[in-house]
């Protein structure tokens, strides 16, 4: 499973980029002006208690994930995408999974170098 996990994250990132945009395009086609009307989108997204519940839940989760991605990305020195949460989070997990072993090896090599230099002096 571990060797497939980065590929699962990548697949989810791709789906996270495509599937929301399919719905956005459908919304724009239904709009009489033919464009993206933000006010109508927000009204439609909050049309009942169930949709408001999902929106609020997603807003809180997206905020927490964004903060985590920014702080963790700085630690891992990874590049940050600007995209929707569905795409960005999965892509970040994939990149994090690839970066951590490299950073761990670099840390081990640095520690071994320090230990070797102390023994020489």
Interval 75-118: pLDDT, tens: 766 655 555 666 666 677 777 777 666 555 555 555 555 555 55
The fraction of the chain above a pLDDT of 70, given in percent, is 65
> What are 107's two structure tokens?
């840390």
Under 8 Å between Cβ of 93 and 111? no
Interval 51-60: pLDDT, tens: 999 989 988 9
Mean pLDDT of the chain: 76
The fraction of the chain above a pLDDT of 90, given in percent, is 12
Under 8 Å between Cβ of 109 and 102? no
Segments making up each domain of the chain, as ranges: 5-120
pLDDT band at 49 (very low <50, low <70, confident <90, very high): very high
Q: Is the confidence at residue 43, as pLDDT, over 80?
A: yes
Output b/e per residue, 17-54; b: 16+ Cβ within 10 A: beeeeeeeeeeeeeeeeeeeeeeeeeeeeeeeeeeeee
pTM above 0.85, yes or no: no
DSSP state, residue 84: -
Give the pLDDT of residue 62. Answer: 81
For the chain, first and last CA: distance in Å?
45
Give the pLDDT of residue 106. Answer: 55
Please compute the mean of the pLDDT values over residues 20-46 and round it to a whole number: 87
């Amino acid at each position: 499973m571990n060797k497939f996990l980065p590929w699962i994250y990548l697949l989810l990132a791709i789906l996270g980029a495509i599937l929301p945009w399919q719905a956005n395009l459908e919304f724009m086609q239904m709009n009489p002006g033919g464009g993206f009307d933000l006010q109508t989108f927000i009204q439609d997204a909050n049309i009942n208690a169930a949709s408001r519940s999902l929106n609020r839940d997603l807003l809180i989760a997206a905020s927490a994930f964004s903060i985590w991605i920014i702080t963790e990305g700085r630690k891992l020195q990874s590049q940050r995408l600007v995209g929707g949460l569905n795409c960005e989070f999965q892509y970040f997990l994939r990149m994090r999974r690839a970066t951590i072993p490299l950073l761990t090896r670099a840390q081990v090599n640095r520690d071994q170098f320090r230990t070797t230099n102390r023994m020489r002096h």
